[in-house]
Amino acid sequence: MLWLQVYFVLKNIGGEITSTFDHPELVKLGHCDLIEEIMIGEDRLIKFSGVAAGEACTIVLRGATNHLLDEAERSLHDALCVLSQTVCEPRTSLGGGCAEMIMAKAVDQLAVKTAGKKAIAMEAFSRALRQVIFVL
């Protein structure tokens, strides 16, 4: 985990890892305007401000219990995974009740053009289609 953190810090400040300093002129040094240690609750964090890449972001999760924090971290991880996959592959497939909503919309449009008890039955069927999404 520490290796990954070092990698992300170096990527954002524009530096690189080097194993020797035999030729310091060949080493790419990173830059940031300010490095400071801050306290959030009881935790100490190192904050890099004015990074070269300007793309760094930190999300601090705080909660009353560890269970709550675990759930928040899982939810955040899921959202970030979806985001990264969407960036890698922008094509999407419709799901999550899309077909039912399209059918309900079509039935509603047809019910407007239909008269009598048949229109009431069509509207009820459209409502049922919309509820299928929540039931399943």
User: From CA 83, how far away is CA 20, in angstroms rounded?
Assistant: 37
Q: What is the pLDDT of residue 107?
A: 95
pLDDT, tens only, 61-87: 778 898 998 999 899 889 888 888 887
For the chain, the residue count is 136
Of 4-8, 33-37, 80-84, 126-130, the one with minimum mean pLDDT is 4-8
Check residue 55 and give its pLDDT.
Answer: 66
Q: How confident is the model at residue 113 (pLDDT cuts 50, 70, 90)?
A: very high
Which segments of the chain belong to CATH 3.50.7.10? 2-76
Question: pTM score, two decimals?
Answer: 0.44
For residues 127 and 107, the answer to whether their CB atoms sit within 8 Å is no
Is 3.40.605.10 the CATH classification of the domain at 2-76?
Answer: no
User: Is 74 in contact with 63 (CB distance < 8 Å)?
Assistant: no
